[in-house]
Every structure is written in C-alpha cells, then in structure tokens.
C-alpha cells in the first residue's frame, strides 16, 4: 500500500535549520527559525534554568506519570504569570491550566477540543500567520478562514482586520496573537485591543489567543495586556501559552492550554473534556520542562535571575532592530526599512520578496523564511554590516 504514498516537501521553517547547517559559507547568517540567539549566535541555556536543573537533579525522587493536566504547581505558576497576581479571573476560579507539550501542543489540544465540543464552528487566522496554525487546525478537521492583517505595503492593516472581524459568523473562533505577532512583528496598541474586544463581544466570537512570546515584546506584564483584557471582559477565552522562548527550553516542550469559562462549574466541565483530549493525544505531558519552570517561578531568587536575563534578551533584540536600520543608512535604505525598529518580538516582516530572500540565501548565505520574515535575534553587531550590504545588493 505504501507505493501510493507521495513524498511532500518538509516544513519550510524547520527545513531552514538543516539547510543552514549544510551551508559552507563562512559568513552565513541564520535568521530562520524562531529561537533566541546571543551575540555569538548561540542559544544558551538560561542561568536560572541551569540552577533549577541542578536542584531538580538532587531532589527528584520519581519519574512516574504526572497526570493529563500536568503538574499542578506548574499550572498555578503559569496561570499567575499569564493572568497576573491577584487576577479577578483567577479569584473567580474561571481559568483552568493544562500543561502541554509546547505551545504547539496547546494549540493542538485547543483544536481537538473545538472540533469535538464546538462542531461546525469555523476558525479565523490572521493573514499572514504562523504557517503551522493552518496545519494544526486543518488537521483537526476545522474549517479555516483568514482575516487581513497587513496591507499591500506590508504594514499593519488594522481597519481591514476590524472590518473583517465584524463579518465573522457568530460563535466562530478567532485566533489572535497576544504579542510579538508571528510572522510580522506588528502588534496592536491598547486602544486597538479595546476595539477588538468590543467586536468579539458584539459578535459573540470565541478568541483563541496564541501567547508564545510573553516577555519578548515590552515585558512579562505588558505583553499580557490583551490576554488579561479579554479574559476579564469576556465569558470564554482560550489561551495557548509557551515557555519555549521565555525560558529558552525549546526542546523540553513546555506549554500550557488555559481555558477561561463563565464560572467555576463550566470551567470544570471544560477541563474534564480537555483531559480526554490530552489522554487521546499523548496521555501525559513530559515532566522536566514544567519542573524547571515551576522551580524558577516558586523560588524568588531564581525568578529574579530569570527575569533579569529575559530583560537582557528583550533589550538586545530591540537594540539590534534600531542598529539594523542605522546600518542601512549608508545605502539610503533606512526609511524603507524603518518599520523594523517599530515592530516587536523576535520576528520582523522585512518586506523582502521571496526572490530577494532566495538571492540572500544563494549569494550571501543569509537564511530567512521566504515570506520575508527575519528572526531579529540572529542579528549581531558583527554581522550587521554584512547583512546591510547584502540587503542593499538585492534591493
């Protein structure tokens, strides 16, 4: 039977990792997959993570299953990181946390929950969005639709987005990026989020907020603005949180599905259904990443070390954004790329065409997603002059 099976191209983002590794160009630069890089191009283990692991190695007594919802201390810690200390939603016991294998695992749990419990509901994603959103929701059998997010000049099209949201059938699900929009780097202002909230409420739409980059925009609390606004003002919200980026524990697959319901009873009903979805997918989540996160968030000294390092990472990215635009000045391209300094998070929609991206790869060994998305963390003071020269050569 396997003779009928066709070979398909691999994932475009993950494929860049291999292509970059195989490139022998000594000047090559990796602006592909969304992982943080330091000034040397490395993705180091964060200091607090190393310390937490040392503690865990000594104190761990068992490797038994941790249950379909994962470790309770992890769930509590993530709920308070996402919703904020003293959150009214948490006080009212309206939110449930289910540990998941990464943010992607949380998205798949959400997708399977929607397909099983809200049959017939469509799901709406921004155009563009993280390409895997398409794969995850379609694989779960949900009808996928798009709302506009950027205009023809590759700038945020908020009016287009809001008008499209107003046309979505009542009860459908809308995927929103809480901060550090992937792939564009264009985030909504607080005033714009307020307008989105009004439309969601009027049209009775169910927001699914993808929160993969908490701490990479303006700060842990600042980045949670939209999540908290929606959770406090709407009866029902789905949130997919990830610790991959802000704790730098990509390979430990540590995420969380947060389901916010109207009241505690409905939350418990929803939670029981999420446990079934988890059980049918992978039974129990892996334990190590959640143990790291919960050790850090329950140990004030470690939490401080972690917060400080996260701030350094965020500041580094923001400085590099400005430095890149400055490096383009001698080529007269700074105005054309000025938006890069205004975007937020790891990614930048550069506005480079797929053909220009191909030329950067083939002629300069510079790797980025063909949509023109660059991982800004791959910039460094050393490679910026080379990057600017290369961009100028293809523009």
Q: What residues line the site for ligand LMR (CB under 6 A)?
A: 13, 33-34, 130, 132, 182
**CB of 177 or CB of 271, closer to ligand LMR:** 177
Q: How far is the CB of 250 from ligand LMR (least distance, A)?
A: 8
**CB of 13 or CB of 142, closer to ligand LMR:** 13
**CB of 293 or CB of 374, closer to ligand LMR:** 374
Catalytic, out of 28, 193, 245, 306: 245
Catalytic, out of 172, 187, 210, 223: 210
- 125 near 134, Cβ under 8 Å? yes
For every residue of 264-333, DSSP letters joined together read HHHHHHHHHHHHHHHHHHTSS--SHHHHHHHHHHT-HHHHHHHHHHHHHHHHHHHHHHHHHHHHTGGGT-
Residue 50: Cβ within 10 Å count: 12
Q: How far is the CB of 141 from ligand LMR (least distance, A)?
A: 22
Q: Name the closest residue to ligand LMR (Cβ).
A: 34
Residue 318: both structure tokens together: 């923001």
Radius of gyration of the chain (CA): 21
130 is catalytic: yes
- 238 near 261, Cβ under 8 Å? no
**CB of 99 or CB of 132, closer to ligand LMR:** 132
146 is catalytic: no
- 60 near 66, Cβ under 8 Å? no
Q: How far is the CB of 115 from ligand LMR (least distance, A)?
A: 22
**CB of 13 or CB of 278, closer to ligand LMR:** 13
Residue 104: Cβ within 10 Å count: 20
- 187 near 217, Cβ under 8 Å? yes
- 360 near 391, Cβ under 8 Å? yes
Catalytic, out of 30, 112, 124, 130: 130
Q: How far is the CB of 54 from ligand LMR (least distance, A)?
A: 28
Active site residues: 130, 210, 245
């Amino acid at each position: 039977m396997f003779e009928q099976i066709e070979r398909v191209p691999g994932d475009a983002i993950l494929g860049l990792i291999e292509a970059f590794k195989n490139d022998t160009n000594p000047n090559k630069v990796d602006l592909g997959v969304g992982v943080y890089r330091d000034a040397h191009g490395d993705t180091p283990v964060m200091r607090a993570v190393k310390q937490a692991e040392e503690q865990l190695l000594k104190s761990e007594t068992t490797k038994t299953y941790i249950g379909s919802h994962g470790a309770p201390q992890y769930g509590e810690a993530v709920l308070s990181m996402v919703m904020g200390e003293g959150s009214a939603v948490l006080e009212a016991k309206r939110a449930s946390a289910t540990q998941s294998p990464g943010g992607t695992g949380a998205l798949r749990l959400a997708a399977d929950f929607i397909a099983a419990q809200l049959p017939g509901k469509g799901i709406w994603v921004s155009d563009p969005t993280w390409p895997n959103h398409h794969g995850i929701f379609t694989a779960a059998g949900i009808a996928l639709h798009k709302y506009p997010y950027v205009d023809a000049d590759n700038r945020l099209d908020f009016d287009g987005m809001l008008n499209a949201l107003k046309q979505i059938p009542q009860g459908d699900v809308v995927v929103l990026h809480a901060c550090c929009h992937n792939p564009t780097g264009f985030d909504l202002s607080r005033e714009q989020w307020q307008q989105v909230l009004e439309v969601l409420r009027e049209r009775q739409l169910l927001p699914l907020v993808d929160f993969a980059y908490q701490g990479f925009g303006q700060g842990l609390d600042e980045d949670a603005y939209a999540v908290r606004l929606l959770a406090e003002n709407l009866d029902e919200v789905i949130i997919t949180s990830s610790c991959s980026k802000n704790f730098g524990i990509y390979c430990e697959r540590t995420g969380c599905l947060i389901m916010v319901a109207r009241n505690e009873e409905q939350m418990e009903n929803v939670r029981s259904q999420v446990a079934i979805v988890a059980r049918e997918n992978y039974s129990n989540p892996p334990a190590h990443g959640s143990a790291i996160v919960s050790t850090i968030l329950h140990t004030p000294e470690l939490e401080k070390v972690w917060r400080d390092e996260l701030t350094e990472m965020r500041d580094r990215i923001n400085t590099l954004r400005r430095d890149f635009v400055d490096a383009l000045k001698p080529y007269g391209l700074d105005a054309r790329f000025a938006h890069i300094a205004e975007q937020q998070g790891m990614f930048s929609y550069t506005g480079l065409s797929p053909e220009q991206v191909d030329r950067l790869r083939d002629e300069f060994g510079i790797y980025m997603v063909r949509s023109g998305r660059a991982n800004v963390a791959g910039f460094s003071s050393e490679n910026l002059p080379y990057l600017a020269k290369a961009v100028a050569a293809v523009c």
